[in-house]
Amino acid sequence: ALASFKRQQEQGFQEQSALAAEAREIRRQELLEKITEGQAAKKLKLEQESGTSGSQEAGGKQAAEENEASAGQAAGEHEEACEGSSPQPGPSNGVAPLPRSALLIQLATARPRPIKARPLDWRVQSKDWPHAGRPAHELRYSIYRDLWERGFFLSAAGKFGGDFLVYPGDPLRFHAHYIAQCWAPGDPIPLQDLVSAGRLGTSVRKTLLLCSPQPDGKVVYTSLQWASL
């Protein structure tokens, strides 16, 4: 996969380099046309001025003609130099190549070839799922599934010292009512952790909910509130 990405990235860089060189060549031609038009207008103005100044001395007229001739010669040399340059993109024409820092990278949000993709069934457990068979994951999942089937909404509760925040409805409309902690049926709960979790839940106006799944598939819930005794 990485080699394919590198190959596509290099191909994109070559295509963008060619397009950038073509755009610079078009811009150069546009500027060349403007320069040529400006030189022609200047030459015409000098000719008009020389025509209206017929009463001037011959020395001044000759000097003006020499200036016109030198300007025309310089313009011709400039045009020949521009025409002699190769319009093909590449390092030999004096055009700086496109730096790799300017490369545009496309972020794919969909598979470009969906026909070749293997269809997946969301009802079948993935073989690549890394948490399959882990007791801690199975414990949390069984409680999550039970609360979800009861109509609650859940989110992470790490900053509240729990496993889940339990909402009675959409979290955008309701505050969480419970801080759920997942415990296995045979695991001892330290008294200090129990008291600190109860006090924290009460201080944030939430009820601590101890959740323990049973062997028959049911989940036992115990709610605690700090009474400040």
pLDDT-wise least confident of 9-13, 18-22, 34-38, 113-117? 113-117
Catalytic residues: 167, 175, 206
Decide which of 79, 102, 125 is a domain's last residue.
Answer: 102
Whether residue 139 sits in one domain with residue 58: no
47-56: average pLDDT: 70
Per-residue pLDDT of 120-170, as tens digits, reads: 777 777 777 777 778 888 899 999 999 999 999 999 998 898 999 999 999
Residue 119 predicted with pLDDT over 90: no
CA distance 183 to 142: 11
Whether residue 148 sits in one domain with residue 214: yes
Estimate the crossing angle of helix 58-84 against helix 2-52, to 10 degrees.
160
For the full predicted model, state whether its pTM sits above 0.75: no
Beta bridge partners of 182: 211
Q: Which SS3 state, helix, strand or coil, does residue 54 take?
A: coil
Residue 124 maps to a domain: no
Percent of the chain clearing pLDDT 70 (strictly above): 75
Output the domain CATH number for residue 156. Answer: 3.40.1350.10
CA distance 61 to 115: 80
* Residue with more model confidence, 64 or 152: 152
Average pLDDT, the chain: 79
H runs (alpha helix) in the chain: 2-52, 58-84, 135-149, 191-203
On whether the CB atoms of residues 64 and 42 are closer than 8 A, the answer is no
Residue 11's domain comprises 2-102
pLDDT of residue 67: 57
How many beta carbons lie within 10 A of that of residue 66, not counting itself?
10
pLDDT of residue 208: 93
Number of structural domains the chain divides into: 2
Residue at 151: amino acid letter? G
191-197: average pLDDT: 88
CA distance 210 to 166: 12
Is the dihedral angle over the CA atoms 30, 35, 38, 44 positive or is it negative?
A: negative
DSSP 92: G
74: its two tokens: 């310089």
80: its two tokens: 């020949």
